[in-house]
Structure 1
């Protein structure tokens, strides 16, 4: 199956900060004692432009604040492996359970109807100077951990220090620009950033870090995986923990933050249950009889052919196609440039030519998809055509940039004829491999000057993707590449991804509309050899690093857009992946037991704003439709 990987590891997402020239109408500006620079005090923070919601906002517009409470939302676990052995998502060790992020609160909460705005959760306000060299978070006095202990500034300091030194690589890279954190009082914590750091996003980066209890980890090893539910700061507690089968998170009736504006209309379900299955067929059969209630479909073939069973026909199950306002994600086959035979760009380009999307879309996908070409597909951040204007001027400032980036249109995949074997593609790929020194021998295999065969190993953990990879492999074999597919179990897949043990891997990286430091964990040199990061390809390029710095430090959204397009263009020119396909919607099937707000947030599926309709549920049970 395609491994769906958020660039933020389901943790911090598009962390951003507010510019001094675009303060909100409700922010207060003053001067810190002994300082001459103005200080902004506000209830939230945004990268570019004013916040949508004022300080006294009652709730987000896309929720129903009067939604009924109770019931359970259940779905299959699809983003993780098919089992788990840990409730600690902050370290590399172990396979953490899906949904574990529900255990922990952050200082700030995301608004999903704004591209880059965050509002107070554990923190009721924050203060920062014009250059955002530091930020002070003022904690809510009522904030509590699950054991009733107050959440204090010391907990924030301990969390940041621990994650920066002992956390998974994502945290270490994200928090690298923190010079120090100090508790000014029990409810007031100051975080200072390193001199010279690009600080635009850093206050909100910190605001999206889960806050952990210092006192709990005084007796519990932080760096060990465990299935013991931890003391935590969020609204939910782990229940019914059954590795390989299911895990449930239920609301704490004493949760301190239930009535906060950022939570109102969100905490409608008593519990969320994640079901684990050995394969997608078993999962789907369970859904059909009501073992779980919401199923997101990722296969076009199944969406087109498998939803004609009785529960759908009588209206007990709703089929819905929900628009997705985010970037559609960079889904594709990702090369591992750490492998010597994949370091030649001509070899990677040749291999990419031989993936026939047009045939796959017609023969396998029922024409449901469009071809991807950008890492920010289906957004205004993707590069188009030949660079010009401000984008060209920026690219000309970047040293060591290949000339083709400046003079050629942004790379797009070759359009093949929708036939199993496109002879034109075969000829183009063969010419590139010949030029790269991989010649065809008497046995039909390509070898280099040392006599080593050109081999390409695909690694995946689901047989369902065989129908796509195997025809691709046949095309590769036609030009003399010894291509193979290895299907391994999910635990092996997780481990091999962590240590980059593959030639090629299938994955979808969802990159944010306001890129920040998380991009360094995907494309930056500092993550290339750091196990556990999302730098799947191992790219380590000074020009790419320089453009990432421009993206992170951009002072306006226009500058950020230009820099991201330049980065997208430069990455695509490297042929580090083979783009797959995209659609701008979610395919959802769900039992008709939910209510939904009138407004869907543009940057989220919105499922957490639904609620359980007990009358509908009982009606379906009485009719025998649900168990």
Structure 2
């Protein structure tokens, strides 16, 4: 498993989309203003929300959180395809710099609370959404955040960000409908999620982006920049060394510091990110101390065998696991079906049959992981058994376009728990290849028509990818496939994945929400397959998938959503677009013992680092004992 902490929390963040009153109708005559919202049910905090129940509201501010990251950066604009954005920025959401209209909850699925917007409302037919801005909302230069900022941000993001373009595909316009009110109009009715996920909109400063820099040059939101932008959130850029380090500092007069979602959080005065070549180098820096205070651990081998250096033995570095209830991402080897060798589903199934998870889990991962077998792993959204009830009704409309076994067999991934089972799976794979026109001649799997050998180049961006890809490559080579792995730097990897220039990704992760909706277009739609920068890495272009994605988005209630999601999950699985990997269900952290930590952490995301704070006594003790640790 290779999720970083930010990716894990981001998964839960994207999952927390908005909807007030679950699936209850609003009044047609006078829509009600909503504050905290939920797509599943009402928030546990109700209207008397003071702060998250797990935080220390009196947590002290101060100190520096040191972090590491891999690769490099050349831009402070994360919302465009060009450039590599610096750590602390986010392509979805505001990152450390910008606030969104509402903030996704850390401790409840599909819940959001007020931030830039203090409330929102929507009509009974869900044809629009109106957000009312908090009059206290300010940019770091003291100017108020206005409706004009929101409208400008919406237009800029839809134009330049592939992610937001897909997320808000059905939003036709944003218009000013009051001094502090902005209304978003939709081109379709009945999309119950859309009024609420407008709260995920990041708000950018129109006056700054339309202004000029120190040299008098007009700024351009469509281009990368290394000029620190004006923001509105709890942090701003303090300093940076191009490509190697960026330091953020807490804004002492942050306008939202006393809002319920912020009380007891964002306690570090500074957040420093140091760039390293790869994760191995970052690990060495963590063990030495001073560069990385908290390490999200992605390596089961390292977690089991290498947390034995002196600081761990002395109790100065702590190992901790935090269970999550937010569901698990689909982490997978991703086949690029834009490549001709992957267009036959029998080939994709054959490649799936060749993956021996059980041996890898035992030999490499210390039996730490479970096999992922759903695009919506870890909850009621995952399909199971054979289709029944409303799910079956949905799928019946596409019966002639789906594999017949989808209706009669439970989807199961191959199991290689014995040497005999592993050999049988490879024999099945060879038979599937033969049916698809590929035969083994002289130890090479070649096309019956052209004699060309079947080739797969796995693409990775981290040395750990070699460990997770090599056993699979060995199995594919036993079938006669010319399988190789190429590890490239982060910048190259971003550019190649954005342009879909790869055969197969060694590892990719697709975070899902507990209320899936518009983001499914970016994952799986035909339009996204042709859009550089989308997350449809597999190149899925299937009218049935397109229809089911829309069925999910326009579900009429929770039961309808579950049935539609089960149907989508099942169709994706039976088409074998990806080879599912594994999941843990926990966040693993190693951290230097310099923090104050609330007694409990939010079970939904597992851990909220923003609720931690620097314990000055602990920090001083470490600094005295280990040179450079602070």
Q: What interval of TM-score do these two structures reach, taking the shorter chain for normalisation?
A: over 0.9
Q: In the superposition, relative to structure 1, how do residues 175 and 7 fare at CA in structure 2: closer, same or farther (>3 Å)? A: farther
Structure 2 residue 557 is matched with structure 1 residue 556: yes
Mapped partners of 1:442, 1:308: distance in 2: 48
Contact kept, 8 Å, 1:20 with 1:131, in 2: the verdict is no
**DSSP 3-state at the match of 1:497:** helix
Where does residue 202 of structure 2 map in the other structure? 210
Structure 2: tracts of 5 or more residues without a match: 90-94, 212-218
| CA shift digits 1:427-449 (9 cap, x unpaired) | 11111111111122346342241
Q: Confirm or deny that 1:227 pairs with 2:226.
A: yes
| RMSD (Å), alpha carbons | 2.2
Q: Which moved more, 1:437-446 or 1:140-149?
A: 437-446
Structure 1 residue 398: Cα displacement? 4.0
**Shift of the alpha carbon at 1:339?**
0.6
Q: Which residue of 2 aligns with 1:111?
A: 105
Corresponding residue for 1:353? Answer: 353
TM-score scaled by structure 2?
Answer: 0.93
Structure 1 residues 369 and 143 mapped into 2: Cα distance closer, same or farther (>3 Å)?
same
Mapping for residues 80-229 of structure 1, pairs under 5 Å: 82-100=71-89, 101-165=95-159, 167-196=160-189, 198-219=190-211, 220-229=219-228
Q: 1:445 to 1:46 in 2, by over 3 A?
A: closer
Give the Cα separation in 1 of the matches to 2:258 and 2:449: 69
1:433 maps to what in 2? 433
Q: In 1, Cα distance between the equivalents of 2:52 and 2:474?
A: 52
Match of 2:615 in 1: 613
Alpha carbons of structure 1 residues 11 and 184: separation in structure 2 relative to 1, 3 Å: same
1:318 CA displacement: 0.8
Q: Give distance in 2, aligned partners of 1:290 and 1:489.
A: 25
Aligned to 2:276: 277
- Checking the alignment, whether the CA contact within 8 Å between 1:323 and 1:585 is kept in structure 2 is yes
Q: Give 1:21 shift.
A: 5.5
User: SS in structure 2 opposite 1:319?
Assistant: strand
1:32-111 mapped onto 2 (5 Å cutoff): 37-77=29-69, 82-100=71-89, 101-111=95-105
Instruction: Tell me if structure 2 keeps the 8 A contact 1:169–1:532.
Output: yes
The 5 A counterparts of 1:425-574 are: 425-442=425-442, 444-505=444-505, 506-574=507-575
Match of 2:18 among 12, 16, 19: 16
**What is the alpha-carbon distance in structure 2 between the residues aligned to residue 400 and residue 96 of structure 1?**
45
Deviation, structure 1 residue 74: 2.2
SS for the counterpart of 1:512 is coil
Q: 2: CA distance between counterparts of 1:116 and 1:20?
A: 10
SS of the equivalent of 1:103 reads: coil
Q: How many angstroms apart in 2 are the aligned matches of 1:558 and 1:113? A: 23
Q: Which residue of structure 1 aligns with residue 285 of structure 2?
A: 286
> Is 2:241 the counterpart of 1:239?
no
Alignment of 1:373-412 (within 5 A): 373-398=373-398, 401-404=401-404, 406-412=406-412
2:39 touches 2:193 (CA, 8 Å); kept in 1? yes
Q: Deviations over 1:185-210 (max 9, x none)?
A: 332111111134x4211122211111
Residue 136 of structure 1: CA displacement? 1.4
**Secondary structure in 2 matching 1:150:** coil
For the 8 Å contact 1:359–1:419, the answer to whether it is kept is no
Q: Which moved more, 1:457-466 or 1:8-17?
A: 8-17
The equivalent of 1:317 in structure 2 is: 317
| SS of aligned partner of 2:533 | coil
Structure 1 position 400, deviation (Å)? 5.1
Distance 2:444 2:539 in 1: 30
Structure 1's unaligned 5+ residue stretches are: 24-28, 31-35
> Residues 297-316 of structure 1: matches in 2 within 5 Å?
297-316=297-316
Alpha-carbon distance in structure 2 between the residues aligned to 1:521 and 1:448: 36
2: distance between equivalents of 1:446 and 1:271? 57
The separation in 2 between residues aligned to 1:42 and 1:557, in whole angstroms, is 20
| TM-superposition CA deviations, 1:242-280 (whole Å, max 9, x none) | 244222221111211111112111121112222221122
Offset from partner CA, 1:498-545 (integer Å, 9 cap, x none): 011111002121111111211110111120110011101010111112
How many corresponding residue pairs? 612
Q: Deviations over 1:355-414 (max 9, x none)?
A: 111111111111111111111122221111111122222222346541436423342210
CA 1:297 to 1:98, structure 2 compared with 1: closer, same or farther past 3 Å? Answer: same
How far apart are the structure 1 equivalents of 2:332 and 2:344?
19
**Quick one: distance in 2 between partners of 1:370 and 1:21?**
33
Alpha carbons of structure 1 residues 22 and 108: separation in structure 2 relative to 1, 3 Å? same
Q: Secondary structure at the match of 2:377?
A: coil
Question: What SS does the corresponding residue of 1:471 show, helix, strand or coil?
Answer: helix
Provide the residue aligned with 1:326 in structure 2: 326
Contact 2:23 2:558 in 1 (8 A): no
- Per the alignment, residue 367 of structure 2 pairs with 367
| Aligned partner of residue 331 in structure 1, secondary structure | strand
Asked whether the 8 Å contact 1:22–1:49 carries over to 2, the reply is no
Task: Give deviations 1:277-310, integer Å, cap 9, x for gaps.
Answer: 1122221121122222101110101111100111
Query: What is the deviation of 1:577?
Result: 0.6
Deviation at 1:624, TM superposition (A): 3.3
Structure 1 residue 421: Cα displacement: 9.7
When residues 273 and 244 of structure 1 are mapped into structure 2, their CA distance, relative to the original with a 3 A threshold, is same
Find the counterpart in structure 2 of residue 26 from structure 1: none
Structure 1's 508 and 583: CA in aligned 2 closer, same or farther, altered over 3 A? same
